[in-house]
Chains A and B, each alone.
Chain A
Amino acid sequence: MSTASKSVSVAPASAQLRRAPRKLLNRRALDRFGIALIVPLGLLLAWWIASSQGWLPEQILPSPAYVSSTALEMVTSGEIFYHAGASLQRVVIGFLFGAAAGLTLGMAMGLSRRVDDYVRPLFLAFAQIPTLGWIPLLMLIFGIGEALKIIVIAKGALVPMTINTAAGIRAVPASLVEVGHALRFSRLQTLRLIVLPGAAPSLFTGIRYGLTHSWTALVAVELLASSEGLGYLLVWGRQMFWLDVVIVAMVAVGAIGFLMDKGLDASEILVQRWKQGEDS
């Protein structure tokens, strides 16, 4: 009885939510935001107490006030934007190359068992060598210029994109593909109407991990070889034992990663809504 009433109430509730007045949604979002702030504020308080009581030396844990004044200085002087911009540009270019290549390769591997048999062992062997392993080798070939960075970042995106695309296409139920056959879909129609929508969640996972890997690869390559960018800021701050600069750079790395993730969330929702709209 309760099962039935619950499952009935689910659909109208979600429909209502979509049409609900903006105000209600905003309040709910505000509540969630407030709850989410409790943990970070608690940590900040603990940090403030720890440093004002002198529990830890300044080199190990600078005070929040000191870090925030450094942050403000780096923002007003534009220093942080210069470094973040350099990093961001590298990531975008490298990611686009890597994701496009990964999508192509993953689709080929997912669609054809033969291609998969030929390519997968070699691909996995290459993929198992961490990006960090490639950097010194590529440095010998390409030097430490911009090309090295783009290649390393592209490789970071390529691996998860390929694996997830192939796995997503493989995981599309055979029965659905059979339906396509029964409806006499052409290969292209099967791909567009059945395989790709079925693999969409997996593709998004690939894009998400790809972007994360690109970002990691960027930090790695900038830590090892660069004269600008957030990774450079991290190395420089650590060498000088300026933990405030290190923390500001870390926050910048996190903030950019967070914004990219939010952007992906938004686009995933958009695509799903578009899919639902097409279904009904």
Chain B
Amino acid sequence: MSLAATLQTKRAVKIRRGLTLPVLLLALWEVSSHTGLVDARFLPSLEDVFLTAKRELIDNNLFGELGFSLFRNIAGFFIGSVFGILFATLLALSRLADALITPTFNGLKQISLLAWIPLISIWFGFGEQAKIVFVAIAAFIPVVLNTYEGMRNAPRDLIEVGHALKFTPLQRIMRIFLPSALPSIATGVHLGLIYSWLATVGAEYFLAVGPGVGGLIIAGRERFDMALVMVGVIILGLVGFILNRLAATVESYLLRWRVSAH
């Protein structure tokens, strides 16, 4: 009971500390926009931003559009991650595949993601397919890199044990390589989630500017409407934050054995 109580206070301290800076920043923002310390065109007041948010979300059905963005994000992320783990497993465990493909992969991954957009838009058009392809590529790359790294660093003794016990290749993957690469894979998937959200916004910017959060931000910039831009940016951040929390929770759940090992 007392242990639970200390955990409770520890949690409270953590929450209080986490909230301190954001609250201070908001207070500073509100004060400076009201006293005219900063030009309101650059820093609209909180009420302004709030009213703009209400107008866009409720009157202009931003929620529905956000749903589409999210669906695209998750679909691309899922496709990219699954293929990424499979692809990296192949590269990490097969010497031949590694020698043949890894250098090409490393070369292609150097072309930063957004540079693919002109080519993708010419090849796949501006539709849903092009966007999902782009998001999937974004998730694929970090998942491959981290999974590969993790499997390559699987403890040598464990691999030897696998040899001694005459494991089949499938057993070696399931019992040795996947478990020991799990922390790296989790990192990769986590990064993949961040990248794919970036790609979702990128797709909305560059592949047909229209409805959606990305379109909203671009429109706000063109109209020099800082409140609108901020609403868009905050929504981007919120979605990203939720995705990140989700990934962190899953990550710590999957890696809970590490804590108990200490």
The verdict on B112 contacting chain A, using a C-beta distance below 8 Å, is yes
CB distance from A271 to the nearest CB of B (A): 17
Residues B160 and A257 in contact, CB atoms below 8 Å apart: no
Residues A129 and B236 in contact, CB atoms below 8 Å apart: yes
CB distance from B111 to the nearest CB of A (A): 4
CB distance from A158 to the nearest CB of B (A): 14
Residues B226 and A140 in contact, CB atoms below 8 Å apart: yes
What residue of chain B has the Cβ atom nearest to residue A139's Cβ? Answer: B221
Residues A136 and B217 in contact, CB atoms below 8 Å apart: yes
Q: Complex Cα distance A237/B14, Å? A: 51
Known: A129-B237, A258-B110. A120 touches B201 (CB 8 A): no
Residues B108 and A246 in contact, CB atoms below 8 Å apart: no
B interface residues, how many (CB within 8 angstroms): 63
Residues A118 and B218 in contact, CB atoms below 8 Å apart: no
Report B-chain residues with C-beta under 8 Å of the C-beta of A140. 42, 221, 224, 226, 229
Residues A141 and B106 in contact, CB atoms below 8 Å apart: no
The verdict on A133 contacting chain B, using a C-beta distance below 8 Å, is yes
Dominant secondary structure at the A interface = helix
Q: State which of A17-25, A66-74, A214-222 sits at the interface with chain B.
A: A214-222
Report B-chain residues with C-beta under 8 Å of the C-beta of A127. 240
The verdict on B83 contacting chain A, using a C-beta distance below 8 Å, is no
Q: Which 6 A-B pairs have the closest CB atoms?
A: A128-B240, A257-B110, A36-B103, A238-B118, A254-B111, A121-B18
The verdict on B2 contacting chain A, using a C-beta distance below 8 Å, is no
CB distance from B206 to the nearest CB of A (A): 7
Residues A257 and B111 in contact, CB atoms below 8 Å apart: yes
The verdict on A122 contacting chain B, using a C-beta distance below 8 Å, is yes
Range for the number of chain A residues in contact with chain B:
35 or more
Within 8 A of A (CB), among B107-139: 107-108, 110-119, 121-123
Residues B194 and A219 in contact, CB atoms below 8 Å apart: no
The verdict on B53 contacting chain A, using a C-beta distance below 8 Å, is no
Report B-chain residues with C-beta under 8 Å of the C-beta of A249. 115
Report B-chain residues with C-beta under 8 Å of the C-beta of A136. 217-218, 220-221, 229, 232-233
Interface Cβ pair total, 8 Å cutoff: 168
Q: Complex Cα distance A231/B99, Å? A: 32
Residues B230 and A130 in contact, CB atoms below 8 Å apart: no
What residue of chain B has the Cβ atom nearest to residue A133's Cβ? Answer: B236
The verdict on B21 contacting chain A, using a C-beta distance below 8 Å, is yes
Report A-chain residues with C-beta under 8 Å of the C-beta of B17. 114, 117-118
What residue of chain A has the Cβ atom nearest to residue B22's Cβ? Answer: A122
Report A-chain residues with C-beta under 8 Å of the C-beta of B28. none
Residues A129 and B104 in contact, CB atoms below 8 Å apart: no
The verdict on B256 contacting chain A, using a C-beta distance below 8 Å, is no
List 15 A–B pairs whose Cβ atoms lie within 8 Å, in order of A's numbering.
Answer: A7-B156, A120-B18, A121-B22, A128-B241, A129-B236, A130-B198, A130-B201, A136-B233, A140-B229, A223-B114, A223-B117, A238-B118, A246-B118, A254-B115, A258-B110
The verdict on B70 contacting chain A, using a C-beta distance below 8 Å, is no
Report B-chain residues with C-beta under 8 Å of the C-beta of A128. 194, 197, 236-237, 239-241, 243-244
Report B-chain residues with C-beta under 8 Å of the C-beta of A223. 114, 117, 206
Report A-chain residues with C-beta under 8 Å of the C-beta of B121. 238
CB distance from A239 to the nearest CB of B (A): 9
Residues B201 and A133 in contact, CB atoms below 8 Å apart: yes
Binary A-proximity of B1-36 (CB < 8 A = 1, otherwise 0): 000000000000110011111100100000000000
Known: A139-B221, A255-B110. A118 touches B122 (CB 8 A): no
The verdict on A154 contacting chain B, using a C-beta distance below 8 Å, is no
Select the residue from B114, B205, B241 with max chain A CB neighbours within 10 A: B114
Known: A132-B201, A258-B106. A220 touches B114 (CB 8 A): yes
Q: Complex Cα distance A88/B39, Å? A: 34
